[in-house]
């Protein structure tokens, strides 16, 4: 009897998680994010957008700009996130990204830094459309320091077919 109750509870939680996942992030959902990317003692503003290809999997683009002694660095990335087990208003996710930095110097633009990174984070929706997020970013390149990002999210409902 105890085993049947445990099985029933686990099944209920799994079904509930899938149903809630579709409310937080699902196919054709668009998330718009604005925040700060904290790294190397600086915190440049960042913007990103993520689109739900299917339930639990989204693709997106991110950009931020920072000034350094070598010039103005504009960094962009394309990423894929897997939304692990969203429950109610909480949306944990993990993903990978391909990152490219364009450095502007007096002699012109220099495409000087390309690498991949992993990310893990969590989003909390205060309402059906507005929330906050935080994530850690770990580059797969030894001379690039890990960082973190935090900010606000605007959820656009399902986009039309």
Q: What's the number of domains the chain is made of?
A: 1
What CATH number should be reported for the domain holding residue 122? 2.40.160.20
In the chain the beta strands, taken as DSSP E runs, fall at 30-38, 45-54, 57-68, 71-83, 90-105, 108-125, 130-139, 147-156
Please check the confidence at residue 126 and state whether its pLDDT lies above 80. yes
| Per-residue model confidence (pLDDT) at position 16 | 43
Q: Do residues 83 and 24 make contact, with C-beta atoms less than 8 angstroms apart?
A: yes
| Per-residue model confidence (pLDDT) at position 22 | 43
Q: Which residue from 2, 161, 151, 143 is spatially nearest to 64, judged by alpha carbons?
A: 151
Residue 159 binned pLDDT confidence (cut-offs 50, 70, 90)? low
**Any domain includes 161:** no
**Any domain includes 64:** yes
Reported as a single tens digit per residue, the pLDDT across 14-29 is 444 444 444 678 889 9
Take residue 4 and report the two structure tokens written for it. Answer: 């049947």
Residue 160 binned pLDDT confidence (cut-offs 50, 70, 90)? low
**Any domain includes 128:** yes
**Any domain includes 66:** yes
Structural domain range at position 59: 2-156
**Any domain includes 124:** yes
Q: Do residues 131 and 35 make contact, with C-beta atoms less than 8 angstroms apart?
A: no
pTM above 0.85, yes or no: no
Q: How many CA atoms, within 13 angstroms, populate the side-chain half-sphere of residue 28?
A: 5
Q: Which residue has the higher pLDDT, 101 or 104?
A: 101
**Any domain includes 39:** yes
**Any domain includes 87:** yes
**Any domain includes 53:** yes
């Amino acid at each position: 009897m105890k085993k049947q109750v445990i099985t029933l509870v686990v099944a209920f939680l799994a079904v509930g998680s899938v149903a809630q996942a579709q409310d937080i992030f699902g196919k054709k959902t668009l998330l718009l994010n604005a925040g700060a990317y904290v790294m190397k003692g600086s915190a440049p503003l960042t913007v990103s957008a993520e689109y739900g290809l299917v339930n639990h999997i989204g693709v997106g683009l991110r950009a931020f700009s920072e000034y350094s002694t070598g010039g103005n660095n504009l960094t962009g990335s394309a990423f894929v996130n897997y939304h692990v087990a969203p429950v109610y208003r909480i949306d944990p996710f993990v993903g990978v990204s391909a990152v490219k930095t364009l450095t502007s110097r007096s002699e012109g633009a220099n495409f000087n830094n390309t690498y991949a990174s992993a990310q893990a984070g969590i989003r909390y929706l205060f309402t059906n459309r507005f929330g906050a997020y935080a994530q850690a970013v770990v580059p797969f390149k030894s001379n690039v320091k890990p960082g973190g990002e935090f900010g606000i999210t605007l959820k656009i409902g399902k986009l039309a077919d």
